[in-house]
Amino acid sequence: MESKVNRSAEINERFVDLFQTSRGRIERNSSKLINSFRSSAMDRFRELGVPGKKNEAYRYTNLEPWFGSNYKSFFVPEPEDFGAAEDFRCEVETLDTHTLILLNGYFPTSNGGIIELPDGVKVGSLARASEIFPEIVESHYGKYAVDGTDGLIPLNTALASDGIYVYVPAGITCSKPIQIINLVEATEDIMVHHRNLIVVEEQASVDLIVCDHALSPRKFLTNAVTEVYVGPSARFDILRVQNEHNSAGKITHTFIHQERDSIAGSNNITLHGGLVRNSTYHRLNGEGAEANAYGLYLADKWQHVDNFVNIDHAVPNCTSKQLFKGVLDDFATGAFNGRIYVSQDAQNTRAYQSNNSILLTDDAHMDTKPQLEIYADDVKCSHGATVGQLDEEALFYLRSRGISAVEARLMLMFGFAHEVIASIKTAALRDRIDNLVLQRLRGELSRCATCMINCDNK
Amino acid sequence: MLKIENLKAEIDGKMILKGVSLEVKKGELHAIMGPNGSGKSTLAAVLAGREFAEVKSGRVTYQGNDLLEMSPEDRSRKGIFLGFQYPIEIPGVSMVNFMKTAVNEHRKYRGLAPITASDFLKMMREKKELVELDSALTSRAVNEGFSGGEKKRNEIFQMAMLEPTLAILDETDSGLDIDALRVVANGVNKLKGPENATIVITHYQRLLDYIVPDFVHVLYDGRIVKSAGKELALELESKGYDWIKNEIDGE
Ligand SMILES: Nc1ncnc2c1ncn2[C@@H]1O[C@H](COP(=O)(O)OP(=O)(O)O)[C@@H](O)[C@H]1O
Ligand SMILES: [Mg+2]
């Protein structure tokens, strides 16, 4: 016990040291505004530390092996690194998107750092954006990424230099989805902190696709924070597709702040990854808002996937829905922790939650925990969780029609997963994800295959 | 075509089939009748390869091969079709994908290339018309939200798609109105040919107004206790199953 305490104290101390010794480099690649948050964030991290098992929200996920490892921190991007990353870009085929590449948390600044899309939509480097559009960034940055207990959020605020900035002005519907390809690539084990800010103003609408890749076979750890502001009557969807290798640790925190009558959807599709932890927060901050939090996790070997969801019904007349499904094979483990918080004033709240998992082996394991905190009286709320096996009767039904046992299992798994995919509104994207999931279940998904979202020829 | 010899099978240690023997030849139509719980569905399940019933002894040969050695999928590919008494709902698996996969697995087994998209659509359309299956149903997930009657029609639709050599229909008629019954009977009669055979399992003689069996067997308490021509069905209808029960149990 003593040594355990020492170990986590030692890990936390290493991050404090890292910050002190690297602060100059972190700040040179960032902006004055973002830098102004660092000191107090580091103080907060000192108080909270890397979450341990005592933190209710991390009960089923042991971060120590990931945070205790030695990484080189990727603080200075070299122009030639981006050259290699740019090669990764390929022809957009049926799926027409605006594509951005983030390499180890950095956006290439050679082109000025900000790309102007039609209708005043702007995308690019957050650090650059906070210099060019300080009033917009200032009114949103650091406002939504708030969690009273998770030390990884202030750690990100202290260490992240850059990330993606997306701005959709009021009334504008971004006709093409914006695709962010998050690459981690290095010849050494590295740790990446990046910070994204998405601003979708009143009555604006945008779809974001985030693809997480680990390109080189090294140990990686990413701790990323994304803040999203969804203005009144605005619409926002974020679809994250995670396809990293077994030595990659990916921790994402997505804070979606929703104003009145907004509709926002989050969907985390985890196809591969050594450790994956997605924390998704929807704050329903204006009446009539609707939040849909979805997730699909497919894990095998020793992979671990943990989804944490926090839906905060702060005002009356809002609706939220959570749907998370997963298939765990071999020794894989999964966790789901869905929190619904309904404040005292939030009358006429509707909040639904469902988590279903299939275990393919006796060694696979799933922990699922709803967490309801309801302080209003007029609330419609439901939650349900199942952990089971493939349906033997359904399997026999398929086989009795000549379908092989292998194919029948695949069809059932795919059918099970499809409910989550079916929620994707863009047909072309839905088909791509269907394909990826099918390949993944067939065991045919290569490291690179997620790029099929973007291309077919790599 | 099919020869069942003294088949005994148990479920959870309880003997359900207590020595069933039956021979079905090409071109024949057999009806198996009997009271609830007598083992009709268990017999059908054993023939299709469902493993919940454990075969303790006896033999089943199908086209000269040991049927009990084959996987359920191989039995299907070799022409056996089971119409389920209680068809299974499979959310997330579309009827189209299900049928296309099944048809292609059958084709692969026969060394044929996968069916083209247009041929498949044409085939679906024809067979749907044959069983008067609502077109909307095939765009849904397998049996999901289908009514009882729609599920039964869907079984006959699948049978028509797969064109089996030996069809075993387990109470496909129960719970159907007259229209649906006519459709089911029509499907069975269309399939009938000199190279095929059918076993209809039914509780009522009603279906046999539309389908004329060559043989009628009564399965009772895990045994075939009576076999005769189509007139047996009428006798059962008028005298009821108690007649059989009394006769057997009274011995
Ligand atoms: N899955 C099962 N588990 C245990 N017992 C079963 C199961 N299926 C059927 N049985 C038993 O086997 C016997 C025969 O059932 P079944 O074959 O369904 O009869 P039938 O189709 O003639 O009505 C019954 O006593 C029934 O309770
Ligand atoms: Mg039965």
Question: Does residue A170 belong to any structural domain of this protein?
Answer: yes
Q: Which residues of chain A have pLDDT under 70?
A: 1-5, 74-95, 109-110, 446-458
Report the domain count for chain B. 1
Which atom in ligand 1 lies closest to the alpha carbon of residue B34? 22
Interface touch A403/B102, C-beta < 8 Å: yes
CA distance B201 to A396: 20
> What pLDDT shows up at residue A207?
95
| C-alpha A392 – ligand 1 centre gap (Å) | 17
Encode burial over B212-228: b for 16+ CB neighbours within 10 A, e otherwise: ebebbbbbbbbbbbbee
Ligand 1 close to Cβ of residue B11 (< 6 A): yes
User: ipTM of this predicted complex?
Assistant: 0.96
Give the gyration radius of chain A's Cα atoms.
21
* Residues B134-178 pLDDT 10s: 888 888 999 999 998 899 999 999 999 999 999 999 998 887 888
> What pLDDT shows up at residue A78?
67
Interface touch B90/A398, C-beta < 8 Å: yes
Six-digit token string for A21: 């010794």
Ligand 1 close to Cβ of residue B218 (< 6 A): no
Instruction: Give average pLDDT by consecutive 10-residue segment, chain B, 251 residues.
Output: 96 95 96 93 96 92 96 97 96 94 97 96 93 87 92 94 96 84 87 92 85 93 92 85 80 56
Three-state helix/strand/coil letters over chain B: CEEEEEEEEEECCEEEEEEEEEEECCCCEEEEECCCCCCHHHHHHHHHCCCCCEEEEEEEEECCEEHHHCCHHHHHHCCEEEECCCCCCEEEEEHHHHHHHHHHHHHHHCCCCCCCHHHHHHHHHHHHHHCCCCHHHHHCEECCCCCHHHHHHHHHHHHHHHCCCEEEEECCCCCCCHHHHHHHHHHHHHHCCCCCEEEEECCCCHHHHCCCCCEEEEEECCEEEEEECCHHHHHHHHHCHHHHHHHHHCC
Is residue B87 within 8 angstroms of chain A, CB to CB?
yes
* Residue span of the structural domain in which A100 resides: 2-286+446-457
Ligand 1 close to Cβ of residue B67 (< 6 A): no
Residue B91's CATH number: 3.40.50.300
| C-alpha B39 – ligand 1 centre gap (Å) | 6
Which atom in ligand 1 lies closest to the alpha carbon of residue B43? 17
Give the gyration radius of chain B's Cα atoms.
18
> What pLDDT shows up at residue B177?
83
Return the residue matching tokens 């925190």. A253
Give the nearest chain A residue to B141 (CA atoms).
A415
Question: Does residue A404 belong to any structural domain of this protein?
Answer: no
Q: What secondary structure does DSSP assign to A101-153, as a single string?
A: EEETTB---TT-SEEEPGGG-EEEEHHHHHHHSHHHHHHHTTTS---SS-THH
Report the domain count for chain A. 1
Which atom in ligand 1 lies closest to the alpha carbon of residue B35? 22
Round to the nearest angstrom and report the end-to-end CA distance of chain A. Answer: 49
Is residue B49 within 8 angstroms of chain A, CB to CB?
yes
Nearest by CB: B158 against A394, A399, A401: A401
> What pLDDT shows up at residue A267?
97
Query: Could you count the other beta carbons within 10 Å of the beta carbon of residue A21?
Result: 10
* Residues A225-272 pLDDT 10s: 999 999 999 999 999 998 888 888 999 999 999 999 999 999 999 998
Please write down the long-range contacts of A431-436, taking CB distance under 8 Å and 24 or more positions apart: A432/A95, A433/A239, A433/A241, A433/A269, A436/A241, A436/A243, A436/A269, A436/A271
| C-alpha A124 – ligand 2 centre gap (Å) | 65
* Residue span of the structural domain in which B167 resides: 2-249
